[in-house]
Homo-oligomer: A and B are copies of this chain.
């Protein structure tokens, strides 16, 4: 068994480690590969922080075009190594090779890196603002070393050393210290090797990208609060995320968290009457996609009692019962999912179908549909908003539309909220009523489409009110907005023209969109170089 080195300060070096761990193939419960990975001690964190702080100084004056070239080259390298990456990720996560890993997630990851490159090159994230007469100019600018903690469920697209937070932090001019998700260390290692090769090729400071596999919880908290740390991006469980948030908050460090979300879906009576079969298909497809292990999985469905709802539940139950269960990402996911179902049923949820752990070689759980009444939900809204991360959904059946609105009022913050309604307008009054409340509780409101598709669009919001995230003003997906998380606002007041950064110079050498005296323009200012 080979103990893999960590990537610190521009070299793959032996970790100063406290322990080791291995990667498990969740489909077989056997080793995913022949490697061991270090649990770094504080010495590794300390060395990475020092190197990142030094890289941050250099990156501040690195042309954005060089950052963009790095991101694009890294994207190409990922595509070039697709076969190896997909094979490793498949072994470590149990996610299907096709279409999921090879045809969806890997291309998306390369696409995100390329979009981030464009944002870096055009400075589209920096909101340059110029008051010509007052002699004051400002823009968002790099913040400094960023820790990225990636989740278990997207080994490429949210990987700490290749995914959305990574792309955003680097495109904004910051060095990244990636903390691999411990369920796919091999995939993270391969991606870090590609990233580091691209770093060298682009001539970036060697410590622009660093990788640790794991630390103790105490060292993680210490790391995010360290004076050399500037900001943190975290995607994962609520419990671990809130522990990091407490440490970061106390030290005054901006931390951007994407935590749990149950993504309420409201199916209004008119929609169910109008297109029952479509709704069954769409819901089952979304709920079981990736074995339910999406941040935007529709975990809570709100319905109004009646024959169409009974039929819907019966049809979905049949489909859940007959669909293959799929493999869960890890033992931890399987354990947590079983515990969540136990908690929900103990509180009174009735099992429509499923409810049992799987008996196969891998970690699995029967596709599970649970059901409660609106009255039950309202009595214990906290318990019934327990996230069951995996292929489990909870249906809540209201007696009428007023009860439906009452459920919405009791929801906590979520990434998404979805409303299906009659296309001819029969549900419009109910829609207006429930959306007035729902709109404030979710980052993304959908009509007539399940929430599991998260387009990498400039208009996307993959965020939402606490506790879905740590701040409702920011998004983790959607470029250029996602870059603004890893930025500080810098104002230049009467700073001499020759000392301004290119983005704020009269000539606008980057051709950026800038807010000049209240209007957005790509034009230079005047002709006098004042």
Contacts and interface: CB of A to CB of B under 8 A. Distances in A.
Contacts of A416: 493
A136 B460 contact: yes
A431 B472 contact: no
Interface string A467-503: 1001111110010010011011111111110010000
Contacts of A445: 490-493, 495
Contact of A457 (B131, B253, B513): B131
- In this complex, the member of A138, A249, A449, A515 whose beta carbon has the largest number of chain B beta carbons within 10 angstroms is A138
A488 B463 CA distance: 10
Contacts of A74: none
A460 B491 contact: yes
Contacts of A436: 57, 60-61
15 contacts: A127-B481, A131-B455, A138-B461, A252-B467, A252-B470, A254-B473, A445-B492, A447-B494, A447-B496, A447-B499, A449-B494, A465-B488, A472-B488, A473-B488, A513-B519
A143 interface: yes
B472 A138 contact: no
A309 B198 CA distance: 50
A521 B491 CA distance: 25
Contacts of A520: 513, 520-521
Nearest to A492: B445
A339 interface: no
B446 A493 contact: yes
A440 interface: yes
B484 A473 contact: yes
A466 B457 CA distance: 32
Interface in A238-297: 245-246, 249-254
A359 B436 CA distance: 61
Tell me how many chains of this kind the complex includes.
2
A137 B474 CA distance: 15
A176 B106 CA distance: 47
A459 interface: yes
A455 B254 contact: no
A443 interface: yes
Interface residues of A, number: 74
A139 to B, nearest CB: 9
A504 to B, nearest CB: 9
Contacts of A459: 129-131, 134, 136-138, 491
Interface in A212-243: none
Contact of A491 (B131, B138, B443, B484): B443
Given A124-B518, A245-B249, A489-B472, A460 B138 contact: yes
A290 to B, nearest CB: 19
Contacts of A439: 60, 490
A81 B185 CA distance: 67
Contacts of A461: 138, 489-491
A208 to B, nearest CB: 17
A490 B447 contact: no
A458 interface: yes
Given A457-B131, A520-B520, A473 B493 contact: no
A203 B240 CA distance: 47
B129 A481 contact: yes
A140 interface: yes
A491 to B, nearest CB: 3
Given A124-B518, A136-B460, A416-B493, 5 more contacts: A129-B481, A134-B455, A251-B466, A252-B467, A481-B489
Nearest to A514: B520
A355 interface: no
A226 to B, nearest CB: 13
A254 B467 CA distance: 12
Contacts of A475: 489, 491
A11 B369 CA distance: 50
A493 B249 contact: no
